[in-house]
Amino acid sequence: MSQLSIRSQSHNYDVVIETGVRHQLDKWITKPYSSVLIVTDRNVSEHYLQDVVTSMEKVSTVHTALVPSGEASKSMGKYQELLDRCIETSLDRQSLIIALGGGMIGDLAGFVASTYLRGIDFIQMPTTILAHDSSVGGKVAVNHVQGKNLIGSFYSPVQVLYDIETLRTLPETELRSGYGEVMKHAMLSDSAWLEELLGRSITSLEDNQLIGDLEKGIRVKASIVEKDEREQGMRKFLNLGHTLAHAIEAELGYGEITHGEAVSIGLLFALQLSETRVNASGLPIKDYVNWMARNGYPLSSIQSLQPVALLKRMKVDKKTVNQQVHFVLLNEIGKACVVPIQDDVLLTELHRFQTEVVNV
Amino acid sequence: MSQLSIRSQSHNYDVVIETGVRHQLDKWITKPYSSVLIVTDRNVSEHYLQDVVTSMEKVSTVHTALVPSGEASKSMGKYQELLDRCIETSLDRQSLIIALGGGMIGDLAGFVASTYLRGIDFIQMPTTILAHDSSVGGKVAVNHVQGKNLIGSFYSPVQVLYDIETLRTLPETELRSGYGEVMKHAMLSDSAWLEELLGRSITSLEDNQLIGDLEKGIRVKASIVEKDEREQGMRKFLNLGHTLAHAIEAELGYGEITHGEAVSIGLLFALQLSETRVNASGLPIKDYVNWMARNGYPLSSIQSLQPVALLKRMKVDKKTVNQQVHFVLLNEIGKACVVPIQDDVLLTELHRFQTEVVNV
């Protein structure tokens, strides 16, 4: 079991990582709520909704709301449907929303909670490894047809309850996706932990390894976000690996590759750039490529993409300033910086990435 | 000219009350914004939009968005249309939204600003006296078909710029509406100011009187909200007069009577109840009724309504606890309290209100 306290601008909250939490919600949720709405998706509901309902019914009146699985549900339409459901079930200011699912459910249900009656309590129950990242930091949102996360709020949960049993049903590609962000958090913080991770096989993780990795990842995210909730400064470091990752996702078409898998490739590119652009030395590039290969990361997916097309995608990144792409790089493991990179340099580096680094 | 500093949970902001502010926005808005979206309604736009555009164009790229006048525009539909407009005009995190209008525009545009890109700056430019109340306190929202203000946020503007020239085109009923809330603020705070107000004719106010009344009203609102932004305790006092007012508005049909006029009648009932239920003495009931009559307040509108019907409306008030209506009353001017009132007592008091007090 692991329990962390996170500080947000408005309040402090606990993250509990434990086996079987979903069966003991009456123990973990200590505030009395007049009623509860559990928001989840159809995939997750098949496995875990009944457990959560049974456990919550011991302490409150329970309602449920299901949305289809997948990023398409993070929409204004589903946002409105859920608000209607809040009203239909007469949620009041003493009610609670539980977001049971991955990042999509957390973002969607969190945005509903942040605006229903000008904000009611919500609890995150993440069911993916990837969601260790999104469940901390207070960003909630829905997508607009013109772009991801364009409508949202900064609104933190009152608790994050992580039942690691719910991670045992994840397909391998979701394990890889989650460990993409875990790797990022290790590279931003701690070379000893990174070395440990590079020894792991993600399909044979023990409970204590998984709990430890989630806890360390959340600590890294939390320590940065506590200092810079509104992304004025160092929160930008959390974009390590994401500039290329977003370009890959967009260029391949959303859903063709998981977010965390794209991030894992973006991290490798950031390591390469760190060596050539800020003269970092001693980065474990080779070990990291080998780890990716051993764990089935789709390294080759970058090969089919044109450097010019990737560059064009990177230019519309939120971190682009005055038409110049800004990259988060590493001076060393645990020490990030933001560096502008010129277009021609980027094209050359992308070409080298495809021909040399990825083929190590 | 008057300038107040208001403290909110997230930041401090200034309220400027001045003649002709709309012509000098380049002077008052000191932060550089990449672009500006001015949100207003068709009525206000005819009088003042061009002035605001001309003045803002000196310092930024200016876009506009018009919605129809009236409460019906405070809807999810208009909220979405405005978000689309934000995206269409490429507002970014360094952009500004200006809410030019009364309370409806402030609530609607403020909610858009609070959720676009997880929150961008917005400035309130109130064009009604009533909006002195809503422009301070950080409540923004839209209505749902099932109820008013059900979807919203707590989100404060970065500035409130009150151009009192824009109040000079208000119809008399809007002057009365605004002074309903001004009276409430006086009753909650200051008997000397209340006495002054009772001597005023609202159709012949001098600039310095109007500026002074707005400033005092905003100070009362701000001092309460600064202590209790989320309405856990004393912010409830701001509901003085509102329990009956909401019932009157609902019973007559929204729009049949202005909000502030309904509040003015609710205040009179609260004064009566304060005498009988908390033994307040020395309340200026007679002077207040005379002031209302002299200024054309629609006192008689209460006469057509059934006490039983009003009671039923009051039972669904947000302040009702365990089916018992709770009233904000006055021990004396400047000293409020919250008191539960039994149904039969309320019916008797409503009957007496209709037959005796209103007919003084």
In degrees to the nearest 10, what's the CA dihedral of B217, B242, A114, A243?
A: -40
Q: Number of helices (H) and strands (E) in chain B: give both, helices first.
A: 14, 11
Same domain, A305 and A351: yes
In chain B, what residues touch A149 (CB-CB under 8 Å)?
Answer: 118
Are A115 and B152 a contacting pair at CB < 8 A?
A: yes
Closest listed residue to residue A68, CA positions, set A38, A37, A97, A39: A39
Taking only the tens place, the pLDDT of each residue in B58-95 is 999 999 999 999 999 999 999 999 999 999 999 998 99
Residues on B contacting A at a C-beta cutoff of 8 Å: 9-10, 76, 80, 83-84, 87, 111, 114-119, 139, 141, 144, 146-147, 149-154
* Cβ–Cβ pairs < 8 A, chains A and B: 57
Q: With 70 as the cut, is the pLDDT of residue A319 above it? A: no
Closest listed residue to residue B235, CA positions, set B311, B178, B154, B312: B154
Closest listed residue to residue A341, CA positions, set A355, A328, A356: A328
In chain B, what residues touch A121 (CB-CB under 8 Å)?
Answer: none
Same domain, B125 and B207: no
- What angle in degrees, to the nearest 10, is found between the helix axes of B172-187 and B259-277? 30
Question: How far is Cα B301 from Cα B247, in angstroms, rounded to an integer?
Answer: 12
Question: How far is Cα A340 from Cα A320, in angstroms, rounded to an integer?
Answer: 9
Same domain, A90 and A185: no
Terminus-to-terminus CA distance in chain A, angstroms?
Answer: 39
Same domain, A77 and A128: yes
Q: Which residue of A has its CA nearest to B111?
A: A115
B148 belongs to an annotated ligand binding site: yes
Domain count, chain A: 2
Residues on A contacting B at a C-beta cutoff of 8 Å: 9-10, 76, 80, 83, 87, 111, 114-119, 139, 141, 144, 146-147, 149-154
Gap from A50 CA to chain B (nearest CA, Å): 29
3-state SS class at A66: strand
pLDDT class of A358 with cuts at 50, 70, 90: confident
Taking only the tens place, the pLDDT of each residue in A34-63 is 999 999 999 999 999 999 999 999 999 999
Question: How far is Cα B116 from Cα A84, in angstroms, rounded to an integer?
Answer: 21
CATH of the domain at B35: 3.40.50.1970
Indicate the residue of A87, A119, A151 with minimum beta-carbon distance to B146.
A87
In chain B, what residues touch A319 (CB-CB under 8 Å)?
Answer: none
Q: With 60 as the cut, is the pLDDT of residue B239 above it? A: yes
CB A10 within 8 A of CB B8: no
Q: With 80 as the cut, is the pLDDT of residue B319 above it? A: no
Residues pairing with A163 in the sheet: A18
The DSSP H or E segment spanning B43 is helix B42-44
Q: With 60 as the cut, is the pLDDT of residue B165 above it? A: yes
How many CB atoms within 10 Å of residue B275? 16
Query: What is the residue type of A18?
Result: E
In chain A, what residues touch B154 (CB-CB under 8 Å)?
Answer: 118-119
Same domain, B318 and B290: yes
Tell me the residue range of the domain where A162 lies.
2-167
Indicate the residue of B87, B116, B151 with minimum beta-carbon distance to A83.
B151
Mean pLDDT over A139-155 rounds to 92
Residue A11 burial (C-beta neighbours within 10 Å; 0-12, 13-18, 19+): exposed
Q: With 70 as the cut, is the pLDDT of residue B320 above it? A: no
Of B167, B183, B201, the domain-final residue: B167
pLDDT class of A242 with cuts at 50, 70, 90: very high
Residue the block writes with tokens 């699985």: A69
Q: pLDDT above 70 covers what percent of chain B?
A: 98
Gap from A332 CA to chain B (nearest CA, Å): 31
Are A115 and B115 a contacting pair at CB < 8 A?
A: yes
How many CB atoms within 10 Å of residue B52? 26
Residue A241 burial (C-beta neighbours within 10 Å; 0-12, 13-18, 19+): buried
Are A154 and B116 a contacting pair at CB < 8 A?
A: no
Same domain, A145 and A53: yes
Closest listed residue to residue A258, CA positions, set A19, A64, A70, A11: A70
Same domain, B345 and B316: yes
pLDDT class of B315 with cuts at 50, 70, 90: confident
CATH of the domain at B239: 1.20.1090.10
Gap from B76 CA to chain A (nearest CA, Å): 8
Task: Return the pLDDT at B69.
Answer: 95
Same domain, B162 and B178: no
- Residues whose CB falls within 8 Å of the CB of residue B187, separated by 6 or more in sequence, listed in order: B194, B240, B267, B271, B330, B333, B334
Of A118, A143, A167, the domain-final residue: A167
Same domain, A145 and A215: no
Q: Which residue of A has its CA nearest to B140?
A: A118
Same domain, B94 and B6: yes
The DSSP H or E segment spanning B152 is strand B147-154
Of B118, B135, B167, the domain-final residue: B167
Same domain, A254 and A353: yes
Q: With 90 as the cut, is the pLDDT of residue A239 above it? A: yes
In chain A, what residues touch B153 (CB-CB under 8 Å)?
Answer: 114-115, 118-119, 153
**Arithmetic mean of pLDDT over chain B:** 94
pLDDT class of A323 with cuts at 50, 70, 90: confident
Closest listed residue to residue B152, CA positions, set B245, B230, B222, B87: B230
- Residues whose CB falls within 8 Å of the CB of residue B294, separated by 6 or more in sequence, listed in order: B201
Same domain, A141 and A179: no
Question: How far is Cα A336 from Cα A332, in angstroms, rounded to an integer?
Answer: 7
Are A139 and B118 a contacting pair at CB < 8 A?
A: yes
Question: How far is Cα B8 from Cα B157, in angstroms, rounded to an integer?
Answer: 10
Task: Return the pLDDT at B360.
Answer: 56
B74 belongs to an annotated ligand binding site: yes
Of A120-124, A251-255, B70-74, the least confident: A251-255
